[in-house]
Amino acid sequence: MSAPFRLMGIVNVTPDSFSDGGEFLDAGAAVEHARLLVEEGADILDVGGESTRPGAEPVGEVEELRRVLPVLEGIAALGLEAEVSIDTTKASVARAAIAAGATIVNDVSALRADAGMAELVAESGVQCCLMHMLGEPRTMQADPRYTDVVDDVKAFLDERMAFAVAAGVEERRIVLDPGIGFGKTVQHNLELLRRLGELTQLGRPLLVGTSRKSFLGRIAADVLGHAEPEPTSERLEGTIATNVLAYERGASIFRVHDVAPLRVALAVTAATLGGRWTPTDATTT
């Protein structure tokens, strides 16, 4: 029986991502990391060559292509049993990635950054993920404000989905992401997670990406009595908690760094909420 959720393993080919910047900048290291993520249970590999951390500076098209193409080609050569997603806002990068085997475009700008992206997605027939972000990575955490964060995010995603469909993208190929950490305070993130079920009313699968994000480090620091946020390496517990909560509230795709522990946590959650579990042998209790 297939799992009622999908895990998107993160493959950052960047020198400045907040959690693992530079660790997989070498193409060979990134491809090996992708292989390990699939071995741990990743259903999707999300390859990105431009950091979207708060304050990140834009990366040019040539440099982004230089980073991601060898990784995409290396993944394709391995024949891994996982879909490949390209995390980009540039139509030219997405086009090259699709030619190299990507079947999902993960656009954090929700088709706003590049006028050619919607047409490319429509013509190629790939899936796309539309994410909410207030402003751009460089400025998104500069005093973000909402009338009601859930209502505002919901209205934005509804409008961007309508835009995509009008441009020829099939609605069944659209995934929506509320953009946890993208132009949100700690309280905004928590409110989105608490009321995530309201976004399921849009009728499309929800992707959630809380993995190792700073709001988890801040909450953990408060619990432990530390002055500074806990480092990214100490945010697994918070990542698990938020993804379990998100699954219970209707999310079905989870973008994570740590695939193996999240796979187990979500499997237990799914078995509990579903009220059933199919054992693989007769020795289980």
Q: Which long-range contacts (CB under 8 A, 24 or more apart) does 26-30 make?
A: 27/70, 27/71, 27/74, 28/74, 30/71, 30/74
Which of 154, 212, 255, 263 is an active site residue? 255
* Cα 150 to Cα 134: distance, rounded to the nearest angstrom: 13
* Cα 260 to Cα 265: distance, rounded to the nearest angstrom: 9
How are beta strands 83-87 and 104-107 bridged, if at all?
parallel
Q: How many CA atoms lie within 13 A of 34 on its CB side?
A: 32
Supply the DSSP string of 46-86, one letter for each residue.
EEESS--STTPPP--HHHHHHHHHHHHHHHHHHT-SSEEEE
Quick one: the chain helix, strand, coil %, rounded to 5?
A: 45, 15, 40
Distance spanning both ends of the chain, measured CA to CA:
19
Residue 194 annotated as catalytic: no
Which of 213, 235, 249, 263 is an active site residue? 213
* Cα 6 to Cα 36: distance, rounded to the nearest angstrom: 16
Residue 213 annotated as catalytic: yes
Give the residue from 85, 56, 68, 58 showing the smallest Cα distance to 13.
Answer: 68
Active site residues: 213, 255
